Structure 1
C-alpha cells in the first residue's frame, strides 16, 4: 500500500498542543523516526517511508491538521504533482480534446484548480518529486507516452498552446485591473468580436461603468467576454455560473458554446450540475480526500458521468466515492403537494417600494413541513420579499400575519461578511451561540452540519480569517443550527461545491421534516431547487425597476411557469430524477415547447437514450 501523510500547516499549532503527535508515535517510541519537529520550519514533518499508518497522530492532533491515507501501490504510477513533503497529491489529469468541451465535477480541494494550472502551463507537474528538482518537459512527456496527453504536453512544451483563463474568484479582478468595461474589453480583444460578445451577454448598459462598480453577475459576464475575446488555443472557465441567475447562466453557456473556436480546447469547472450537463460534451469526475489527495476519473459521457457521480460509484474505476447515492424525486404525474393544515405564516397582497424599485406580491401562505422555493432573475425582488418576511422591511401596502409570540425565524442573508458574527470570534464560539448541540460529538446536528460541511476543521479559526466559501458555509450552518419554525435562506449554495450544495439541500429537507418546521429558499441552482422544493414561487418583471411575485404553486406548475418565462425546457433524467436542460433547438426542446411542457417528467418505464438531442 502507498501511504499519503498530509499536514495542513494552516491548522497545525505545535506550540498549543505540546507536540503530542510526535510524543505518541509508536515508531518514535521504538527508536525509529516517523514524525519529528523541523526546527527550521517550526513545524512537524512525517516520513511516509517509515510511517506505519496507525493513525494515532491523527487522533492526538487537537486541530485535525494531520491526515494519513492508505492507497493502492498501483496508483503511485499515475502521480502528477505534489505540493512538497506532506502536501496535497494529485493522481491523473483530465484529458482535453480539440473541438470538444470537457466538464469537470467534484469536491473542492480535490485538485480541480491544480489540474487547470497544469493544463494551462502555469504549473509544470513535478511527477511527485518533492526534493526541489523540477522534471524537464522531456521527462513529463515520457511519463504520458502512449496516452492522449502525450501530444498535448508536446504542444505545451513547444509553446503552441496559449491559454485564456477565467478564474474562480472574480472579486479579485477589480483589485488588479483599472478602467471602464469598454476600455478593458477593447484592450483584451484579439479576435475582433468584443462588440458581439457585449450584445450576447447583455453588457451594453455597463460599457462606460468602472469595473469596480460592477455587481457580481456583471463582473462574471465581463470576465467571460474578456476570456472569449482572446485568441487562444485553450479556454478555461472556472465556475462561470457564480453570481448569475438561471437566465444569465444559460446565456453564458450558449455564448461559450457559440464563440469558442472550433479547433480549440475548452475546459469548464462547474458545481451547478444542470449547467455542467448543458454545457459539456463529456465529463471527468475529481474525487478523493479534500486537501489530502485527488484523483481524475476516466472520461465519461455527460449523462452517464453525472449519473455515476450522483450514485457515488464509478464503474470504470470500480470505485465508490460516496457512502450513499443522491436521489431526486421522479413523479410520473404532477400533483399538488400535500400540506398540513397548520399555517406558519401568511401574507396578503403586498406592495414594497425601495429606492425606486417596486415589488408587488400576490397573497400566499407557508405551511408546516414545507420548503418553498423562490426563483426568478437577479434584481427582481426575491431578497426584498425575504427581508419583508424576516421583519427587516415593512411593506407600503398589505401585511404579514404570524402567530403572536410563537414564531421563531432563522435568516441567512444573501451577502455574508465577517461582521455578521464578529471578526474576532472563533467558528466554535459562533456555532455554540447558535446551538451547542452542533458541537456535541455524535449528535444529529454534529454529523449533518458540522462534519458534512467540514466545519470541524475550522473550529479554532477566527471568523475574520475565513475565505468567502468558508464564511458562506458558516452562515448556512448557523442558520440551520438554530431552533426555529421558519428558515429563510437566501442563496445557500453560493460558493459551495456540488457535494456541499446537495448536503445542504438534504439538511434543509431533513430539518423541515424532523423539526416540523418550514423553509423558504431563494436559489438559482435548478438542481438544488428541484431536490428540495415542495412548492415554487415565481418572480417576474423588469430587474431593477419592478417585480411581480406570483402565488406559490406546485413544483410542476411553478417550474413550468418559470421556465416558460425564460424560454428554456427541462426534462428529468429517468434514472436519477435530476433535471437536465435541453439544448436550444434540439428535438426535445422543440417538442416540449410545442406541448407546453417546459418542465417534463418522464412516465414510468420511459427510457432516455444518450445523445438523443
Structure 2
C-alpha cells in the first residue's frame, strides 16, 4: 500500500502574492475535482491527499517552494505520534526513554526536536498508539523529565552560580562541578561564556536535577575530548539505572555510550519516522547503509566519508602570525608564523579553553581577506533568500547538497539548529573576496549526512577556488576525513593557551589522541571510527604501536 503525504509550508505559502499556479495547473483540478483549493480564509493552499496522484506538478510550479508531495511505502497512520496540522509535518512513532542510556540518531528536519518536545512535555501527543506510550505520558504529567536544550544561545543572562543553585535537587552538583571544572566559572555571567563552557554548565544543571528521565539534546557539541569522555563515563557509572535519552550526531562516541539507539528518518520538513530501538552498533551501521533490515525499510542510499590523500601544496593563501594575546586573565601565544597554502583545509583541535576561538576571532579582525563563521550563531530577523546567491557552480552545489532551496523564504528565526548552521556556513563560504575562510565548529547541530556532505564541500571549495580553510572542530572523524593538516593547541584551560604547532594529518591526529589518552578502532562492516575502552587489548595495542587509530 502506498501512503501519500502532502505538505504545504504555512510560512512559505502566500496566495496573495502568486497566481495560484498549484491550483490552476493541478491535473486533478483540471478534470473537475478539488484536489488543491484555497483555505476558507484564503491564506494557504490545501491539498486533498486522497485525490492527489503524486504527479509533482504543484511542487515544480510553486514560486515559493512551499509544497512537498511524498510517497511512503507502508501504512504508518496508526503510529502517528504528532501532527502540526493539515498538510504539515507529521511524526510517526516515539523514541521513548527506557532504563539505560538510549541514543537517537537521525537527519536534520525529520523530527528529533519534535520527539524531544513530546517526551519532555512541551508538546502534547496527537495519538498514544501503544500501552508503552500511554504509560510514559501518564507518568510525565507528574513532571518526571528534565531537558538539556540543543541551542545554548549567546543572550542568556545571570551568573553561573545562580543557575546551578536553582537546579541542585539530587546532591550531585558538587561532584558535577568538580567533573566539569565549574568552580572557575561560578562567578562569571552566562552571557560571557564560550560554547564549551556554556555546555558544561547546562549539562551540570540538567544532571543535578532529581527526575526519572533525562533528555540531553546534543550534549557533546562544543566539548573537547576530555570533557566528552568525562560526561560519557559519568553517565555510564551513575545513570545506567535511570532513563536517559541522548540525541547526538557523533556516532563514534554514541557507539561507546549507548545501550540502544533509535533511528529517525524521513523527508526533512515533511514527515519523520522513528524506528524500533536496536543494539547500538547495528543501529548506527543501518543508519549509514540507509536500510533498516528488520523492518525492510530503505530510506536513502548508503553514505560514507570519502577517503582522500593529503597533497603537498605550495604558495601562501594566508599567514597566522606569531603573536601573544591577553584577554582578561587569559593569555594565548603562538611562537612561530604558520603559512596556509592555497587549496588546503587545515583543522584546529585541542582542549576547551585554550584559545582556539580566540585565535579565530583575532584573525578575522586583523587579517585582510578573511571570512568567518562564528561558534555561537545569532538569529536576526532576516530571510535566508537575501543571501542565498547561486551565481557560481560551488554555491549551486552547496545549496543543492545541503537542501537549502526549501529555506529560501524562511527567516533565520524559523530554522532548526542544523538548518541555521548550514546557512551560516554557506554565508561564510559565499564570500567571493576572501582568501581565508575560518569555520568555528561547523559540524555542531549538523546530522551525519550533512557532516559527510560538508566534508566534501569544504575540500571542493579549497581546491576549486585556490583558497585556504581553517576548521575548528571536536568531531575526530570529521576532521580526519576533511583536513590536510592539523594545528594542535595546548596549555592550561581558561588561563594560558599555546599553539603547539602544525602537523600532517596523521601526525596531528596521533598528537591529539596521545594528549587525551584515546585510541580508535574501525568497525569491521562500515569502517567508521569507534572509541576503544580505556585499557582494553585494542587500546593498549594501538597506543604501544604509536598509531592510536587503526588503519
TM-score by length of 2: 0.89
Instruction: Confirm whether residue 25 of structure 1 aligns to residue 26 of structure 2.
Output: yes
Q: Deviation string for 1:149-182 (max 9, x for gaps)?
A: x34632542567821221223339946xxx5433
Aligned match for 1:165, one of 140, 147, 152: 147
2:313 aligned to 328, 340, 351, which one? Answer: 340
- Between 369-378 and 337-346, the greater mean CA deviation after superposition: 337-346
Q: CA deviation at 1:585?
A: 4.3
- Name the structure 2 match of 1:476: 425
Q: Quote the residue 2:481 is aligned against.
A: 531
- Structure 2 distance, partners of 1:95, 1:471, is 27
**CA distance change for structure 1 residues 172 and 360 in 2, over 3 Å: closer, same or farther?**
closer
The SS at the match of 2:409 is coil
Residues 329 and 577, structure 1, Cα contact 8 Å, conserved in 2? no
Match of 1:154 among 127, 130, 135: 135
Which of 555, 564, 567 is equivalent to 2:517?
Answer: 567
| Alignment partner, residue 61 of structure 1 | 62
Cα distance 1:489–1:118, how it changes in 2: closer, same or farther (>3 A)?
Answer: closer
Give, in whole Å, the separation in 2 of the partners of 1:75 and 1:431: 36
The secondary structure found in structure 1 opposite 2:521 is strand
Match of 1:544 in 2: 494
- 2:184 alignment partner, SS class: helix
Once residues 549 and 163 of structure 2 are traced to their aligned partners in structure 1, the CA distance between those partners, rounded to angstroms, is 42
Residue number among 233, 236, 245 corresponding to 1:267 in the alignment: 245
- Contact kept, 8 Å, 1:155 with 1:161, in 2: the verdict is no
Correspondence list, 1:89-100, <5 A: 89-98=90-99, 100=100
Shift of 1:117: 3.2
CA distance in 1, matches of 2:168, 2:362: 44
Contact map agreement 1:339 1:369 (CA 8 A) in 2: no
Structure 1 pair 40–236 and aligned structure 2 pair: CA distance change class (3 A): same
Q: Is 1:579 paired with 2:529?
A: yes
Q: What's 1:115 paired with?
A: 115
Q: CA RMSD in A?
A: 3.0
Task: Using the TM superposition, give the Cα deviation of residue 384 of structure 1 relative to its aligned residue in structure 2, in angstroms.
Answer: 4.0
Is 1:460 matched with 2:460?
no
Q: Pick closer, same or farther for the CA change 1:180–1:61 going to 2, 3 Å.
A: same
Could you tell me how far 1:8 is from its partner in structure 2? Answer: 0.8
Matched residues in 1 for 2:95 and 2:326: separation?
48
Which residue pairs with 1:607 in the alignment?
none
Which residue matches 1:354? Answer: 326
Structure 2 CA distance for partners of 1:507 and 1:97, relative to 1, 3 Å: same
| Alpha-carbon distance between aligned partners in 1 of 2:439 and 2:212, rounded to the nearest angstrom | 41
Moved more, 369-378 or 73-82: 73-82
Deviation string, structure 1 residues 348-387 (Cα, Å, up to 9, x no partner): 7x12323352312434433343221111123323234445
**In the alignment, is residue 428 of structure 1 matched against residue 371 of structure 2?**
no
Distance in 1 of aligned mates of 2:192 and 2:369: 37
Contact 1:569 1:593 in 2 (8 A): yes
Aligned to 1:541, the other structure's residue is in SS state: strand
* Residues 84-109 of structure 1: per-residue CA shift (max 9 Å, x gap): 111211222335431x2111111122
Secondary structure at 1:198's aligned position in 2? helix
Alignment match of 2:373 (pick from 407, 412, 422)? 412
Match of 1:232 in 2: 211
Which residue does 2:278 correspond to in 1?
300
Q: Determine the C-alpha separation between the residues in 1 that align with 2:377 and 2:418.
A: 10
**Residue aligning to 1:610:** none
**Contact 1:81-1:90 at 8 Å conserved across structures:** yes
Equivalent pair of 2:249/2:445 in contact (CA under 8 Å): no
**Structure 1 position 507, deviation (Å):** 0.4
Corresponding residue number in structure 2 for 1:39: 40
- Bigger CA radius of gyration: 1
> Structure 1 stretch 60-69 or stretch 41-50: which is displaced more?
41-50
- CA shift in 2, pair 1:118/1:187, >3 Å: same
Structure 2 residue 366 is the aligned partner of structure 1 residue 393: yes
Alignment TM-score, normalising by the size of structure 1: 0.81
- Contact kept? 2:109, 2:416, Cα under 8 Å: no
Match of 2:170 in 1: 191
Where does structure 1 lack aligned partners over 5 or more consecutive residues?
Answer: 128-139, 145-149, 331-335, 395-406, 438-442, 603-613
Alignment CA distance shift 1:513-1:550 (3 Å):
same
The equivalent residue for 1:611 is none
Distance in 2 of aligned mates of 1:481 and 1:65:
25
Aligned residue number for residue 353 of structure 2:
379
3-state SS of paired residue (2:295): coil
Change (3 A) 1:491 1:186: closer
Change (3 A) 1:106 1:535: same
Determine if the alignment matches structure 1 residue 327 to structure 2 residue 305. Answer: yes
The alpha-carbon distance between structure 1 residues 572 and 207, as it changes in their structure 2 partners (threshold 3 A), is same
For the pair 1:204 / 2:183, whether they are aligned, the reply is yes
CA distance, structure 2, for counterparts of residue 469 and residue 108 of structure 1: 6
Q: How many residues align?
A: 546
Deviations 1:572-612 (A, max 9, x none): 33443432222344443344445444x2223xxxxxxxxxx
Which residue of structure 2 lines up, in the alignment, with residue 105 of structure 1? 105
Gap regions ≥5 residues in structure 2: none
* Separation in 2, partners of 1:125, 1:450: 34
Change (3 A) 1:72 1:345: closer
Q: Which residue of the partner structure matches residue 78 of structure 2? A: 77
Report whether the alignment pairs 1:12 with 2:13. yes
Alignment match, 2:227: 248
Tell whether the 8 Å contact from 2:154 to 2:376 is kept in structure 1 after alignment. no
Q: Give, in angstroms, the shift of residue 218 of structure 1.
A: 2.6
Give secondary structure in 2 for the equivalent of 1:3.
strand
Tell me what 1:286 maps to.
264
